[in-house]
Amino acid sequence: MKKILLSFVAALMMFGSRADEGMWIPSLIGKNYEEMLRLGLKLSKEDLYDINHSSLKDAILQFGGGCTAEMISGNGLLLTNHHCGYDAIATLSTVERNLLDNGFWAHNLNEELPAQGVTALFLQRMEDITDQVKAALGNATGEEFSKKFEAISKEIEEKYAEKGKYVANVRSFFNGNQFFLIIYKRYTDVRLVGTPPKSLGKYGGDTDNWMWPRHTSDFSMFRVYADENNQPKPYSATNVPYHPKKYLPISIRGEREGDYAMIFGYPGRTNRYEVSYGVDLAVNVTNPSIVACRDLRLGIMRRHMDMNKGTYLQLTSLYSRIANYWKYFIGQTEQLKRLNVVEKKMKNEDDFSKWERENNIDVGLLGNFAKIYADYRPYAKHSVYYSEGFRASAVARVAGALKPLYDAYERNSTRKTKMSEDTVKKFVDQARMAYRANMKEFDPGTEKDMLAEMTELYYNNVPKEQLPDIYAKVIFKKGKSDSKATYTNYANYIFTNSFLIDSNKFNAFCKAPSFEKLKKDAAFQYAYSFVSNYSKNYQPKIEAFSIKKADLSREYMRQLMQEKKYRNMYPDANSTMRITYGKVAGYEPQDAVHYNYFTTLDGLIAKYKPGSDEFDAPKELITLYNMKDYGRYADRDGTIHTCFMTTNDITGGNSGSPVMNAYGELTGAAFDGNWEAMSGDIAFDKKYKRTIVCDIRYILFLIDKMGHANNLIQEMDIRE
Positions annotated as catalytic residues are: 83, 218, 655
Asked if omega into 213 is within 30° of 0 (cis), the reply is: yes
Residues 104, 106, 111, 115, CA torsion sign = positive
How many CB atoms neighbour CB 485 within 10 A? 11
Instruction: Report the 10 Å Cβ neighbour count for 429.
Output: 11
Cα separation, 665 vs 667, whole angstroms? 6
d(CA 523, CA 500): 7
Dihedral of CA 113/60/585/653: which sign?
negative
Provide the strand spans (E) within 486-569: none
In terms of DSSP H, where are the helices of 105-141? 130-137
Cα 690 to Cα 589: distance, rounded to the nearest angstrom: 11
Dihedrals φ, ψ of 346, to 5°? Answer: -60, -40
- Per the CB < 8 A criterion, the answer to whether 168 and 580 are in contact is no
Beta strand pairing status for 67-71 and 60-63?
A: antiparallel
Nearest CA to 447 among 526, 530, 329? 526
Contact 217, 697 (CB under 8 A): no
Task: Kindly report whether the peptide bond that precedes residue 232 is cis, defined as omega within 30 degrees of 0.
Answer: no
- 523 within 8 A of 399, measured Cβ to Cβ: yes
For 200, the 3-state DSSP assignment is: helix
SS3 90: helix
Nearest residue to 657 (alpha-carbon basis) of 194, 259, 84, 55: 84
| Residue 71 backbone phi and psi in degrees, to 5 | -80, 130
Distance CA 188, CA 512 (A): 36
For 352, other C-beta atoms within 10 Å of its C-beta total 19
Cβ atoms of 63 and 80 closer than 8 Å: yes
* Residue 25: CB atoms within 10 Å: 20
Q: 178-187 and 60-63: which strand pairing? A: unpaired
Q: Yes or no: say if 316 and 100 are a contact pair by the CB < 8 Å rule.
A: yes
Contacts of 366 (CB under 8 A, 6+ apart): 275, 349, 352, 353
- Using alpha carbons, select from 250, 263, 325 the residue that is nearest to residue 83: 325
Q: DSSP letters of 653-669?
A: T-TTPEEE-TTS-EEEE
Q: 575 in the Ramachandran plot: left (φ > 0), alpha (ψ -120 to 50) or beta? A: left
Q: Distance between CA 374 and CA 114 in Å, rounded?
A: 51
Ordered DSSP codes for 396-457:
HHHHHTTHHHHHHHHHHHHHT----HHHHHHHHHHHHHHHHHHHTT--HHHHHHHHHHHHHH
DSSP code string of 698-715: HHHHIIIIIT--HHHHHH
**Closest by CA position to 291, among listed 197, 192, 384:** 384
Measured from the Cβ of residue 3, the count of other Cβ atoms closer than 10 Å reads 7
Interatomic CA distance for residues 36 and 215, integer angstroms? 29
